[in-house]
Amino acid sequence: MATPDSASLSSLALREVEDHQRVLENFHGCIPRITEIAQAVIAALEEDHKIIFFGNGGSAADAQHLAAELSVRYRLNRVALPGLALSTDTSVLTACGNDFGFETIYSRQVEALARQGDVVIGITTSGNSANVLLGLKKAREQGCVTVAFTGGTGGQVIGMVDYSLVIPSDVTARIQECHILAGHILCEMIDVHWQGM
């Protein structure tokens, strides 16, 4: 295959940036919902509850990323906060997937680890990932505050959670970019709160 020329690659990059900017212009409308989610998360943390994240693929990576920002640090050297990602334990994931089916890998862990008052955040760009839906369903049954990060029309998940953050795009990459931006804004809000305590 011929190596693409720099002009065509630069043109492609510019199209991606412009598409991102268009989505970001509409992202401003998500700020009130991010603020509501931050208030729920801060209230839970003040009561010594956990914040639990999960998703698939890139969303699993985002779950790990945001859990680390809480338990280690975001920008401030504050007290460690209980952030947990359910996509990291390969023994649990493979045992559960093998014994009960892949769709149960998060609901089973939520059953084991989540307690009433914890905040459980499921990340699914489509809003229809079966294992995320079942994980959030189990979280509601256990009295957790439930949050979905999703995109497009929101999918099935928006009807089953306390708070849904719906990114105004149908492009997976743009949704994921805005999910991590929303997560970072959430972490900044938490840092500012803890700095003021």
* pLDDT band at 31; cut points 50, 70, 90: very high
Please report whether residue 1 resides in a domain: no
Please report whether residue 5 resides in a domain: no
Residue environment code for 95-125, b if the CB has 16+ CB neighbours within 10 A, otherwise e: ebeeeeeebbbbbbbbeeebeeebbbbbbbb
Mean pLDDT (the chain) is 96
- Is 125's pLDDT higher than 90? yes
* pLDDT band at 101; cut points 50, 70, 90: very high
Rounded to a whole number of angstroms, the distance between the first and last alpha carbons of the chain is 59
Any residues with CB less than 8 A from the CB of 107 and at least 6 apart, and which? 131, 134, 135, 137, 138
- Is 2's pLDDT higher than 90? no
- The answer to whether residues 37 and 184 touch, using CB atoms and an 8 Å cutoff, is no
* pLDDT band at 194; cut points 50, 70, 90: confident
Helix/strand/coil percentages in the chain, nearest 5? 60, 15, 30
* pLDDT band at 3; cut points 50, 70, 90: confident
Please report whether residue 78 resides in a domain: yes
Please report whether residue 33 resides in a domain: yes
Please report whether residue 4 resides in a domain: no
- Is 195's pLDDT higher than 90? no
- Is 197's pLDDT higher than 70? no
Domain count, the chain: 1
In whole angstroms, give the CA distance from residue 117 to residue 126.
Answer: 26
Q: What is the mean pLDDT of residues 124-137?
A: 98
> What range defines the domain where residue 191 resides?
11-195
* pLDDT band at 68; cut points 50, 70, 90: very high
Q: What is the mean pLDDT of residues 141-153?
A: 97
Please report whether residue 3 resides in a domain: no
Q: Is 142 helix (H, G, I), strand (E, B) or coil?
A: coil
Please report whether residue 2 resides in a domain: no
* pLDDT band at 5; cut points 50, 70, 90: confident
Please report whether residue 100 resides in a domain: yes
Q: What is the CATH number of the domain that holds 46?
A: 3.40.50.10490
